[in-house]
Chains A and B, each alone.
Chain A
Amino acid sequence: MSSGNTLSRLFGKSPFLPLQTHMRVVLECAREIQPLIEALARGDEERVIKAKDHIFEREAEADRIKNELRLQLPRSLFMPVDRRDLLEVLHMQDAIANTAQDVAGLLIERQMTIPDFMHDPLIALTSRCIDTCEHSASIIEELDELLAMGFRGREVDKVDAMLTELNSIEDETDELGIALARSLFKHESEMDPVSVMMWYRLIEWIGDLADYAEKVGDRLRLLIAK
């Protein structure tokens, strides 16, 4: 008889909690890049492997949550937000985890060693990119409050301010990335050419962490506007 209950069948599973859970897992992936690079610079092999394993495990978990959420969103669901916008936010969140995995994979599989001149600016770039992800995740945490307010009013103003802040942090990461690329260019002749190319690629990928974090925010803007 319980299965026949009209009222309980009326409620689908809310997509917002899984979306937030996904972002929390994604954030764990991104955060681990910092200790990974630090351990790599120290030559602490054990910690490097630990960080890599953690990133890979969390990325798999993020994928699992993503697939589960996609499955529970049939078109018959009536939601306060557009289904496509929601899936876009999810997609961008997931791109952060994928990028973190790519970065970790390349650093380890190619046994990259960090040249001294790169150490500090690389750490600075990574840490600021992770900041962007943190900020983006804290905006996703506001979804409950947005829902309570019907995606209007003060809460939207608050989220708008947070989004502006997100954009400016992302701008900073761009500058840090450009600065790092510039110093890499100066030292190109002293380095193995393939390594140089790989470092350019890594700088780009680490920057992508922030890019995707910003895109999460951009898609959220659309989601709010409906």
Chain B
Amino acid sequence: MEIIAQYGTILLVLAVIFGLYMTWGIGANDVANAMGTSVGSGAITVKQAIVIAAIFEFTGAFIAGGNVTSTIRKGIVDPSSIANQPEILVFGMLAALLAAGVWLMIASTRGWPVSTTHSIVGALVGFTVAGIGFDAVHWGKIGQIAASWIVSPALGGFLAYMLMMSIRKTILDTERPFESARRWGPAYVFLVGFIISLVTLFKGLKHLNLELTVPMSFLSALVFGAICAAVGWALIQKVEVDPEADRDYHFASVEKIFVPMMIFTACAMAFAHGSNDVANGIGPLAAVASIIRSGGEMAQTSELPLWILVMGGVGIVVGLATMGYRVMQTIGTRITQLTPSRGFCATLAAAATVVLASRTGLPVSTTHIAVGAVIGVGMARGVGAIDLRVIGGIVVSWVITLPAGGILAALFFFMLKGMFT
């Protein structure tokens, strides 16, 4: 208890710095992956992607980031056996943040496809086992999270496959694809708004004191979807046939209709990413802040303070503005195989999957889900060439990241403990 009283401010400042570093890293690296399918398909420019990401990453973190944050904050570590030593949990959370941050830095300079989410979860487990004990880990929750890492890319792939098939049936494989695209385009835009808002608003948002019944949730999602569809319709009306381009590629004009439609999926994706990944940075920070503010109380019943969510959003946007745009540029030039229609399917599928995970409070990897969605489009025979070696790389990175994050976290934990006691 004395340690908290004595060093409380320093520890909180450290937590804020580490938390900002993590969210900055997320903004610098992961956001580019989240926006990659939109930029790569040529539907939006890098500049537009940054503006969209800045707004919707923040909105996603703020509106829907609470559930995953609470999982990271109190769903993985069971502190009941150290009730009279709250500083252990504070050191642990700091160590986890630092370990994940350091590991991500090592991994990204080596070019390994490491996920922020996996790093932080591995780090949390590592510090808990080393610092508290094996039984202090909520293994059931860890099992759920690990299962979601396999299920979520598969679900993203399945949704993308179904969407691709549906778009072929309703639009591409028709007598007049351009007219079909004009007719069905707003319906698909409606789907974007409807799915994202339904999953987000279902039964309301506690931290914003928004209570909604089930029918009310559906109604508001319908209204939101309809607004999106109306805006989408207006944008689609402006698209004109380009006979010159159609001679070379018959679907050139049809693809032009998907360009305004992709603005919606890009927003949805940024929102989804913000709602899930921001927790990796601010979850541990929230845990530290709550213990220090209560003077060592570990019940952690208090709600997530809004300033922390806001800080997470700001960290991501700064990371994006300082480094993320460069990563995005390189992605944009490399993913030329994704046409707007294929990008639309992949992005919507990934966004829906991530939002669903956020709602359930499961920390997932947006990048891996995006990979799954692209493979889903490939399964529908829609991508020229997918390099499956990436999947091997992802699996290896799972196997390495969890112990690496864990061992680093344990090291940092003992270092911090030694420094402050």
- The interface of chain A, by Cβ under 8 A from chain B, is 1-17, 74, 76-81, 144-145, 147-155, 226
Contacts and interface: CB of A to CB of B under 8 A. Distances in A.
A80 B33 contact: no
A106 B338 CA distance: 46
Interface in B65-113: 107-113
Contacts of B250: 145
A150 B378 CA distance: 9
B381 interface: yes
A76 B251 CA distance: 29
Given A1-B29, A4-B107, A76-B388, 5 more contacts: A4-B108, A8-B330, A11-B335, A11-B387, A77-B385
A150 B164 contact: yes
B384 A14 contact: yes
A14 B331 contact: no
B39 to A, nearest CB: 10
Contacts of A147: 381-382, 384
A7 B172 contact: no
Given A1-B109, A1-B327, A79-B384, A10 B390 contact: yes
Contacts, number: 140
Contact of A152 (B32, B109, B173): B173
A9 B387 contact: yes
Nearest to B252: A144
B124 to A, nearest CB: 23
20 contacts: A4-B108, A4-B111, A6-B113, A7-B37, A8-B330, A9-B389, A10-B390, A12-B385, A12-B386, A13-B384, A14-B384, A77-B385, A78-B386, A79-B386, A80-B378, A80-B382, A144-B249, A148-B382, A150-B168, A226-B381
Name, among B33, B326, B337, the residue most crowded by chain A CB atoms within 10 Å (CB to CB): B337
Given A1-B327, A2-B327, A147-B381, A10 B387 contact: yes
A147 B111 CA distance: 31
A76 B389 contact: yes
A79 B393 CA distance: 19
A150 B326 contact: no
Nearest to A141: B248
Given A6-B367, A150-B380, A150-B382, A11 B337 contact: yes
Contact of A78 (B109, B331, B336, B375): B375
A145 B388 CA distance: 24
Interface of B: 29, 32-33, 36-37, 40, 107-113, 164-165, 168, 172-174, 249-251, 323, 326-327, 330-331, 334-339, 341, 367-368, 370-371, 374-375, 378, 380-390, 393-394
Nearest to A16: B384
| Top 5 closest pairs, chain A to chain B, by CB | A14-B384, A4-B111, A80-B381, A12-B385, A153-B173
B327 to A, nearest CB: 6
Given A10-B374, A150-B380, A154-B173, A5 B385 contact: no
A155 B254 CA distance: 15
A222 to B, nearest CB: 15
A12 to B, nearest CB: 4
Nearest to B35: A7
A14 B337 contact: yes
Given A4-B107, A6-B390, A148 B385 contact: no
A197 to B, nearest CB: 46
Contacts of B382: 80, 147-148, 150
Nearest to A72: B385
Contacts of A149: 168, 172-173
Name, among B37, B331, B370, B387, the residue most crowded by chain A CB atoms within 10 Å (CB to CB): B387
Contacts of B109: 1, 4
A150 B387 CA distance: 18
A7 B386 contact: no
A9 B381 contact: no
B113 A80 contact: no
Contact of B36 (A3, A7, A148, A154): A7
A211 B381 CA distance: 30
Nearest to B375: A78
B88 to A, nearest CB: 35
A77 B388 contact: yes
Nearest to A155: B173
A6 B32 CA distance: 10
A9 B168 CA distance: 27
A153 B250 CA distance: 15
A32 to B, nearest CB: 24
B396 to A, nearest CB: 12
A94 B37 CA distance: 35
A13 B335 CA distance: 9
B385 A7 contact: no
B335 A7 contact: yes
A11 B173 contact: no
Contacts of B111: 1, 3-4
A8 B333 CA distance: 9
Contact of A145 (B249, B367, B387): B249
A136 to B, nearest CB: 18
Name, among A4, A11, A12, the residue most crowded by chain B CB atoms within 10 Å (CB to CB): A11
Name, among B251, B370, B385, B393, the residue most crowded by chain A CB atoms within 10 Å (CB to CB): B385
Given A5-B33, A77-B385, A10 B371 contact: yes
